[in-house]
């Protein structure tokens, strides 16, 4: 074996061991960092779980409270939270449909009797093709009326 081959072989082995050194030292660093992050996450989770356990043993529970004064402090002075709660309990968020509006909706859809849900949907599709703003020259007024009256009919006859 001559000197050139020996030097070439030593360089190859030096490069090989250098690459192995870089791989294992960087991988080792990666493993250490990963271990530290997992340890911190486990410790934080353990502490949170411990506080929850202590709170449940003391009879203290997390509780959310809210009052109407919070609204007035936020700037909505005309909002009455008590009225809101009463409406929420009674389900009075939508005004009931008047008889005349129901009759207008039936006339708009062309119903002479009380329709079924399927009839309303079928007629809605027909009228939507007719009144769509891309098809007629009346703009979107008729389509808005159609959608409003559909909601009224579905609410009344579903």
Global pTM reads 0.41
pLDDT, tens digit, 9 for 90 and up, residues 111-146: 888 888 899 999 999 988 888 888 877 678 888 888
Query: Residue 141: inside a domain, yes or no?
Result: yes
State the Cα–Cα distance between residues 121 and 157, nearest whole angstrom: 12
Query: Residue 107: inside a domain, yes or no?
Result: yes
State the Cα–Cα distance between residues 99 and 22, nearest whole angstrom: 83
Query: Residue 131: inside a domain, yes or no?
Result: yes
Q: What is the mean pLDDT of residues 9-21?
A: 84
Domain of 112 in residue numbering reads as 99-157
Buried b / exposed e over 76-102, threshold 16 CB at 10 Å, is eeeeeeeeeeeeeeeeeeeeeeeeeeb
């Amino acid at each position: 074996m001559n000197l050139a081959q020996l030097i070439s072989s030593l360089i190859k082995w030096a490069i090989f061991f250098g690459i192995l050194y870089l791989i294992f030292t960087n991988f080792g660093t990666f493993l250490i960092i990963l271990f530290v992050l997992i340890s911190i996450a486990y410790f934080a989770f353990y502490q949170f779980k411990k506080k929850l356990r202590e709170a449940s043993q003391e009879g203290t529970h997390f509780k959310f409270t809210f009052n109407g004064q919070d609204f007035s402090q936020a700037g909505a002075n005309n909002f009455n939270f008590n009225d809101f709660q009463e409406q929420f309990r009674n389900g009075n968020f939508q005004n009931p449909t008047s008889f005349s509006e129901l009759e207008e909706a039936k006339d708009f859809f062309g119903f002479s009797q009380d329709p079924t849900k399927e009839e309303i949907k079928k007629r809605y599709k027909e009228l939507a093709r007719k009144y769509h703003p891309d098809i007629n020259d009346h703009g979107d007024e008729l389509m808005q009326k159609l959608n409003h009256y559909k909601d009224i009919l579905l609410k009344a006859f579903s």
